[in-house]
Amino acid sequence: MIAQPSPWYTHAAQRMAATGPASTLRAPSRMEWSTHRGLGPGAEVLGTDLRGRRVLELGCGPGHNAAHLAERGQAVVTGIDLVGLQIRRARGHYGHIGNAAFITGHALHYLQATSGTFDAVYSVFGAVGLVAPELLLAAVSRRLKPHAVLAFSVPHPQRAGGLASTDDRPRQDGVTMPDGTRLPVARWEFDADRWAAHLTRTGLRLTSALDLRHPHGDHRPTTLLITARKH
Ligand SMILES: C[S@@+](CC[C@H](N)C(=O)[O-])C[C@H]1O[C@@H](n2cnc3c(N)ncnc32)[C@H](O)[C@@H]1O
């Protein structure tokens, strides 16, 4: 058997080959929870005043949302990503923002190793949904301060006309590469009730579940945005 690179590595490598080194950017004016700009709520999901708050992103990619929270929200943000090339992009774009740090690593391993605690943890199509929820949510819960927020968006289980999983196992999904090819990835495709049950088991309480729809798409929801709070 020939070992394959992670689809996330291939995605980042193709993007970097096409765009070249990351240039310095200003932080975006809004936090996005979906791939459609301006859709649904923004950073207020994580709290109305994030100044000085410790915030962690699981699967930050090129760091746009982390940069927004650090520069515009004045939060102290750490972005973790599995792929070093993504962290290089994030640092290239936003390394000038002093209260944003970008670290290469697996979200679960980072949470297990850190002694830090957080006022908010979030994931935007990132590690939540791509790592076994019973492990990842438990690790998040241990690092959240009392009453702190976990929020995450995932591809909606009904986005392609399908249904959410009826068990706790992952399904095979595909990730579209910049060159248009698709590579397989395992994804947990739960509805809000199943997420709520998993959250409850780890000491978190689901506080909101929002279906987001692209305004010019068909009627199907594209993104599921879940918010929870530590007891
Ligand atoms: C679809 S991208 C989203 C990136 C970013 N959140 C955004 O909205 O632009 C998914 C990201 O999650 C990262 N990722 C996947 N599994 C991960 C894990 N176990 N730990 C940390 N990052 C992970 C990938 O490397 C990739 O950069």
Using one digit for the tens of pLDDT, what is the confidence trace for 26-50?
A: 999 999 999 999 999 999 999 999 9
- Decide if 199 contacts 205 (C-beta within 8 A): yes
56 Cβ inside 6 Å of ligand 1: no
- Centroid of chain to Cα 32: 11
Probe residue for ligand 1, chosen from 91, 125, 188, 222 as the CB with the greatest number of ligand atoms within 8 Å: 125
61 Cβ inside 6 Å of ligand 1: yes
Amino acid identity, residue 141? S
81 Cβ inside 6 Å of ligand 1: yes
Probe residue for ligand 1, chosen from 83, 173, 222 as the CB with the greatest number of ligand atoms within 8 Å: 83
Residue 16, phi then psi, degrees to nearest 5:
-70, -35
* pLDDT digit string (tens) for the chain, length 231 residues: 677 789 999 999 999 999 999 999 999 999 999 999 999 999 999 999 999 999 999 999 999 999 999 999 999 999 999 999 999 999 999 999 999 999 999 999 999 999 999 999 999 999 999 999 999 999 999 999 999 999 999 999 999 999 999 999 999 999 999 999 999 999 999 999 999 999 999 999 999 999 999 988 788 999 999 999 999
Residue 139: name the closest of 111, 104, 167, 161 by CA.
111
Q: What is the pLDDT of residue 182?
A: 96
125 Cβ inside 6 Å of ligand 1: yes
For the segment 65-74, what is each residue's pLDDT rounded down to a tens digit?
999 999 999 9
Nearest CA to ligand 1 atom 1: 125
Give the side-chain half-sphere CA count within 13 A for 91. Answer: 12
55 Cβ inside 6 Å of ligand 1: no
153 Cβ inside 6 Å of ligand 1: no
Cα–Cα distance for residue pair 83/14, rounded to 1 Å: 13
